[in-house]
Amino acid sequence: MKKLLFSFCLLGASLGLRAEDGHQLWLRPHPAAPVKVVATAKNSALLATARQELARGWQGPAGATVTLTLRPDKALKPDGFRLGPTSVQAATAAGLLYGAFELLRRQQTGQPVTTEVVNPSYERRLLNHWDNPDGSVERGYAGHSIFWRKDSSFVVTPRDKALWQAYARANASVGLNGSVLNNVNASPLILSAEYLGRARAIADVLRPYGVRVYLAVKFSSPVLLGGLKTADPLDPAVIKWWRGKVQEVYRQIPDFGGLLVKASSEGQPGPQDYGRTHADGANMLADALRPYGGLVMWRAFVYSPSDKDRAKQAYNEFKPLDGKFRDNVIVQVKNGPIDFQPREPFSPLFGALKKTSVMPEFQITQEYLGQAIDLVFLSTMWEECLRSDTYQAGPGSTVARCTDGSVYPQKHTAMAGVSNVGLDPNWTGQDFAQANWYAFGRLAWNNQLPSAQIADEWLKQTFANSAAGPRPATAADWNTNFLAPVTQLLLTSREAAVNYSMPLGLHHIMSATHAHYGPGPWWAPPGMRPDWTPPYYHQADASGVGFDRTTTGSNAVSQYHEPLAAQFNNPATCPDEYLLWFHHLPWDFKMKSGRSLWDELCAHYDLGVHQVRQFQQVWDQAQPYVDAERFAAVQDKLRTQSGNAVVWKDACLLYFQQFSHRPIPATVEPPMHTLEALITNDVQHKDAGPAN
Ligand code: BDP
């Protein structure tokens, strides 16, 4: 063994290798073959980037000539392109850049290049950064903001620029074309001259990569920043203030993309404070942006403690407003009706808003899915949502098709993902969380892409041809012993997380004291808003468990189109995945498997724990194919995840057992913790992230 290690080291040394900190993402430097790029297009920053990328990464025939042709083409959307083995034709310079990246990706991942037309699913493909002006990141697990500084210094350093450039390049390589630079819980400061100046500097660096800048704004900015007495969207002084502010923004950033707004939601100010509707608020901003072609992305994440079922509220507030929004407003809807939980059914707003543009919002940062510890590939979760059939315009009206313009005529289409990027050297904290950034970009570009392909692409670009670490004997060896098992790990990782945390439709039972990491089904301090406590969601008692959203319960089920409403309403036909989302069922309810609900719950938690242990084994066996630094980092995270999965299982089973009064089946690993200890300590998780 010693000898083997030694020879690996020697090989490493002879290749001039260095440790891997993961900073290169999926864009690892390769020895490129010489290539000549001939462009029939006017010179532009985007074209220069395309040329540079081809020269930097060409893996095709040495000495080949690649032609980049700019030409109007009816078959192409603005960012689309026609691809050939050595040619890209597009109607815009951005299309040429995306075509260049596509060529390189195909080369690096061994996918064939035929002559074909490639168009993006969505016009705007955006990251939402929940970054605060002081440099902190809400629900960020990878260090401070890459955009804003803790010391509030507005000096733009060469290091800032290099980082922003690397960030923009990564985005462009997967087709992302927009970044909202600050938190939806927006500070009015973002619209001050200093912050706009820095936003301009960021926009200047992002522009050559086709990434446009957007900002999130606080609805009461006219009061807090402008000194007005009101932020009423129908007040002439307020309208004037926003017009002036928008003009100022465009003076700094001529290609500014638009505004993202969280209003009348979770305590944020909004039009409802003045007796106005979401449409009144959004339209006022839309009118200010219209002369410049800017967009308003108005979030539908709204709920208040007054309603008996939080899951129904967004639909109830927004459905009556369908058709009342300007055509440069897009309503931004989270994938599920509650809040980025490990599994939710799709939000019933998808497909139900037929005369309003709607965009999906996914959460890339793993707030409820293990933060920067757990290895969870979210692509399968997003794919599940995008492929869900809403039936709103007949069978086949999937969430994807209801949002990309295929079903309803939308003037604008978009998809947003809450970013997981921070100042950590590897950008995302956990090395495998990079895969979620990658997957989000790929799905925003092509909402039909299977997760298996995304995983395959990411692994090949991130770990193959590694400049560090021992090399596999042959490609076949690498494919069999690394690519296949690790792809499988990625593809099952989200289901494993659901199993050990919130199986069978359970949701929102995480710990509050640990900033949403780990279990907390018991958490309900006296006086706390019920809809912020887990018991509101799981409703466990002696009679059973689950939230009754059937026609005889909260009736949330009726927000879904038939045949879904009937299917979800009946426990016999409701998919197991959503069972306790829609039903409160007795502990001895007979499941499709023949087991009782209690036994089934136990089996899921236990399975989740075993799946993570299996992931550890897969990763351990991958060691010969991975550089030492990333191998050890991921191994360490998996070890922590594995221990914490046991905590989830023990906590939930012991807690629910108080109501079920049933034994944990002998086939299930017995708890190693006591409920008392788990509750008392609320379990001290290692590296659970900031408690914001
Ligand atoms: C919740 C997060 C909170 C966000 C909110 C949102 O816990 O930090 O502000 O979503 O999306 O899940 O507005």
Whether 303 lines ligand 1, by a CB cut-off of 6 Å, is no
What is the pLDDT, as a whole number, of residue 474? 83
Distance CA 202, CA 165 (A): 9
Residue having the nearest C-alpha atom to atom 11 of ligand 1: 301
- Average pLDDT for residues 597-616, to the nearest whole number? 98
Ligand 1, residues 139, 180, 366, 508: which to mutate, most atoms within 8 A of Cβ? 139
- Per cent of the chain over pLDDT 90 is 90
Element (H, E) at 35: strand 35-40
Quote the ligand 1 centre to 104 CA distance (angstroms): 37
Indicate whether 680 pLDDT > 90: no
pLDDT at 13: 33
Q: Which of 569, 576, 577, 599 is nearest to 587 (CA)?
A: 599
Q: Does domain 2-119 have CATH number 3.30.379?
A: yes
For ligand 1, what atom is nearest to the CA of residue 185?
A: 9
**Which are the contacts of 228, defined by CB distance < 8 A and separation ≥ 6?**
222, 235, 237, 238, 241
pLDDT at 71 over 70: yes
Task: Give the distance (Å) from ligand 1 centre to CA of residue 130.
Answer: 9
Mutate to test the pocket of ligand 1, among 131, 136, 138 (most ligand atoms within 8 A of CB): 138
Query: Which atom of ligand 1 sits closest to the CA of residue 265?
Result: 13
| Residue 139 alpha carbon, nearest atom of ligand 1 | 8
Q: Which of 265, 339, 371, 532 to mutate to test the pocket of ligand 1 (most atoms within 8 A of CB)?
A: 339
Which atom of ligand 1 is nearest the CA belonging to 340?
12
Q: Which residue out of 128, 129, 130 has the highest number of ligand 1 atoms within 8 Å of its CB and is therefore the one to mutate?
A: 130
- CB-ligand 1 contact for 310 (6 Å cutoff): no
> Is the domain covering 498-547+584-681 a CATH 3.90.1330.10 domain?
yes
CA of 180 to the centre of ligand 1 (A): 15
The residue count of the chain comes to 692
Average pLDDT of every residue of the chain: 93
Q: Find the mean pLDDT for residues 78-103.
A: 98
Contact between 233 and 273 under an 8 Å Cβ cutoff? The reply is: no
* Residue 466 in this model has a pLDDT that exceeds 80: no
Q: What is the 3-state secondary structure (H, E, C) of 55-121?
A: HHHCCCCCCEEEEEEECCCCCCCCCCEEEECCEEEECCHHHHHHHHHHHHHHHHHCCCCCCEEECCC
Judge contact between 368 and 350, C-beta under 8 A.
no
- Please report, for the chain, how many H helices and E strands are present, in that order: 21, 13
Per-residue pLDDT of 110-168, as tens digits, reads 999 999 999 999 999 999 999 999 999 999 999 999 999 987 679 999 999 999 999 99
Counting from 1 in the atom list of ligand 1, the atom nearest the Cα of 266 is 13
Of 133-142, 512-521, 607-616, the range with the lowest mean pLDDT is 512-521
Nearest atom in ligand 1 to the alpha carbon of residue 692 is 8
The helix/strand/coil state of 39 is strand
CA of 23 to the centre of ligand 1 (A): 27
- Across the range 583-597, mean pLDDT stands at 98
pLDDT tens digits, one per residue of 11-67: 333 343 456 899 999 999 888 999 999 999 899 999 999 999 999 999 999 999 999
Domain range summary for the chain, segments of one domain joined by +: 2-119, 124-463, 498-547+584-681
For ligand 1, the distance from its centroid to the CA atom of residue 313, given in whole angstroms, is 16
Whole-number pLDDT of residue 10: 31
pLDDT at 685 over 80: no
Q: What angle do CA 541, 547, 552 make, to 5 degrees?
A: 105
* 184 alpha carbon – ligand 1 mean position (Å): 8
Q: Is 262 in the pocket of ligand 1 (CB under 6 A)?
A: yes
Assigned token pair, 140: 């960020």
Q: What pLDDT score does 588 carry?
A: 98
Confidence of residue 85 (pLDDT cuts 50, 70, 90): very high
Q: Lowest mean pLDDT: which of 184-193, 303-312, 439-448, 499-508?
A: 303-312
Instruction: Give the separation between CA 391 and CA 386, rounded to whole angstroms.
Output: 13
CA 256 to chain CA centroid, Å, is: 23
- Contact by Cβ (8 Å): 250, 240: no
Predicted confidence at residue 469, as pLDDT, reads 47
Query: Is residue 184 within 6 Å of ligand 1 at its C-beta?
Result: yes
pLDDT tens, position by position, 310-348:
999 999 999 999 999 999 999 999 999 999 999 999 999
Q: Tell me if 139 CB under 6 Å of ligand 1.
A: yes
| Cβ of 340 below 6 Å from ligand 1 | yes
Ligand 1, atom 1: nearest CA belongs to which residue? 339
pLDDT at 683 over 80: no
Give the separation between CA 175 and CA 549, rounded to whole angstroms. 39
Instruction: Report the C-alpha gap between 126 and 555 in whole angstroms.
Output: 34
For residue 30, the model assigns a pLDDT of: 82
d(CA 439, ligand 1 centre) in Å? 21
**Residue 501: what residue type?**
S
With a 6 Å cutoff on the Cβ, whether 339 touches ligand 1 is yes
Distances (CA, A) of 408 to 300, 389, 391, 403: 19, 15, 13, 8
Q: Report, as residue numbers or ranges, the catalytic residues.
A: 266, 339, 367
Q: Is 138 in the pocket of ligand 1 (CB under 6 A)?
A: yes
Whether the predicted pLDDT of 9 surpasses 70: no
Which residue lies with its CA nearest to atom 10 of ligand 1?
Answer: 339
Q: Is residue 513 very low, low, confident or very high in pLDDT (cuts 50, 70, 90)?
A: confident
Residue 638 clears pLDDT 70, i.e. is over it: yes
At 169 the pLDDT is: 98
| Fold observed for domain 124-463 | TIM Barrel (3.20.20)
